[in-house]
Amino acid sequence: MRVYKFGGASVKDAEGVKNLAKVLQTTGYNNTLVVISAMGKTTNSMELVIKNYFENKDELQSAIHEVIKYHNDILSDLFDNKRHAVFVDVKALFDELNLFFKSNKSPDYNFVYDQTIGFGELISTTIISHYLNEIGLRNNWVDVREFIKTDNYYRHSNVNWDTTQENISTKLDTGILNITQGFLGSDSNNFTTTLGREGSDYTAAIFAYCLNANSVTIWKDVPGVLNADPRYFKNAQLLHQISYREAIELAFYGASVIHPKTLQPLQRKEIPLYVKSFLNPKADGTCVSKGKALEPEIPCFIVKKNQVLISLSSLDFSYIMEENISDIFSLLHLYKMKVDVIQNSAISFSVCIDNLYNNLDKLLQHLKAKFKVTCYKNVSLYTIRQYNDVAIKDLEKDKIVLLKQLTQGTVQIVTK
């Protein structure tokens, strides 16, 4: 059993869908489950739809229409017969989306987000499943929400592994090619939940774990795992093989190729992960596995943009002790802040966070009651694994360094 995952960039248009089919034909598709993301930048477009629903209802239908038009253009390029069942199925999904907006009574942004954002995945997999059947690649469209069960922590739900394992092992027909959605699950009340942005990789790992798969392959528009994101760093190099441990470290610090949660279930069952190019499916790519625990012999660079650096100091120059730090972390947890870097001294405490839920103002107001607070918004957090002096010097060139922290094997630098 193999699990494949194709991201949005791989199916951004009709040619991408056709190329996905070619990858399956090239590599084989027996005993294969394929996890697919929303097409192109659909998730971003759906986030605009949700924003308009809450803030600008006059523009809601216009935003939805843009998503419909984008997918209809792809449909027209893939299917000559305009009476094909796929058109009916896709329209039904958009009708369901509109019905939700008309009938919803919940003011909870996170709940609404999860009920609507996943239509991108539902539509993309519907189109691709129909297309594969049309060209002779017989497959079964699977609603992932019937298999992956979670709690109701909307936008970052936690998997109920026991129920999910039972569902996948008893309900999934592994004798046929299966096409399903990434990113999604459902809670005990069957409301849709999501596993976090870029969570489709994690979906693939969940299925692989529950199916005892031989491997997981993530198909990307890059040749494999690189030592740096080529969008931000020059001369990025391919890492041919890395250990689970190093891959988990890279993912934890924000490497975009692999979702942070993806490696953990794979490591537990020693299922190898391959990262390959959908443009060159016969190339080796990168293998993440047990065995040779090779760490990269070159520095690996990671950058996270639009972070927030908060520096705290006591109002009366007293020490910031365990009690203070406990209070700070309680507030960070309360306001759902993702902590990326911590640095403290006797009378100061600094933390670099990801303001994912837009609760920064509330957090700052709370902190100012007890501390002197300095806040830097829109900072960049750079992490270098396997760093050396040259790598640090090159990174700091022409930047204002706000925070720098070195540990064995890792340096983190916050810059303006």
The CATH classification of domain 2-213, taken from the options 3.40.920.10, 3.40.190.10, 3.40.50.10860, 3.40.1160.10:
3.40.1160.10
Task: Name the pLDDT band for 317 (thresholds 50, 70, 90).
Answer: confident
* Helix (H), strand (E) at residue 15: helix 14-27
C-beta separation of 244 from 267 below 8 A:
yes
- Ordered DSSP codes for 401-416: EEEEEEETTEEEEEE-
Q: Is it the case that residue 130 has pLDDT exceeding 80?
A: yes
Q: Is it the case that residue 292 has pLDDT exceeding 60?
A: no
Residue 140, helix vs strand vs coil: strand
DSSP secondary structure letter of residue 150: B
Domain boundaries, the chain: 2-213, 300-415
What mean pLDDT is reported for the chain? 95
Q: Of 253 and 147, which is predicted with more confidence?
A: 147
pLDDT tens figures, 14-58: 999 999 999 999 999 999 999 999 999 999 999 999 999 999 999
pLDDT at 293: 53
Residue with tokens 């209802």: 57
pLDDT at 258: 80
* Helix (H), strand (E) at residue 276: strand 273-277
* Helix (H), strand (E) at residue 186: strand 184-186
What is the spatial distance between Cα 249 and Cα 142, in angstroms, rounded to a whole number?
32
Residue 64 phi/psi, 5° resolution?
-65, -40
Q: Is it the case that residue 198 has pLDDT exceeding 80?
A: no
What is the spatial distance between Cα 318 and Cα 82, in angstroms, rounded to a whole number?
73
pLDDT tens figures, 248-283: 888 889 887 687 689 999 999 999 999 999 999 999
What is the spatial distance between Cα 251 and Cα 5, in angstroms, rounded to a whole number?
17
The CATH classification of domain 300-415, taken from the options 3.40.50.300, 3.90.1300.10, 1.10.10.10, 3.30.2130.10:
3.30.2130.10
pLDDT tens figures, 66-107: 999 999 999 999 999 999 999 999 999 999 999 999 999 999
Residue 10 CA from chain centroid, whole number: 15
Q: In the numeric block, which tokens belong to residue 353?
A: 């966070």
Q: In the numeric block, which tokens belong to residue 135?
A: 């060209």
C-beta separation of 149 from 186 below 8 A:
yes
pLDDT tens figures, 378-404: 999 999 999 999 999 999 999 999 999
CA 80, 82, 86, 91 dihedral sign is positive
Q: Is it the case that residue 129 has pLDDT exceeding 90?
A: yes
Residue 147, helix vs strand vs coil: coil
**Percent of the chain clearing pLDDT 70 (strictly above):** 98
What is the spatial distance between Cα 366 and Cα 363, in angstroms, rounded to a whole number?
5
Neighbours of 224 (CB within 10 A): 22
pLDDT tens figures, 202-255: 999 999 999 999 999 999 988 999 999 988 999 999 999 999 988 888 888 988
Give me the amino acid identity at 290: K
Residue 82 CB contacts under 8 Å (≥ 6 apart), including other chains? 76
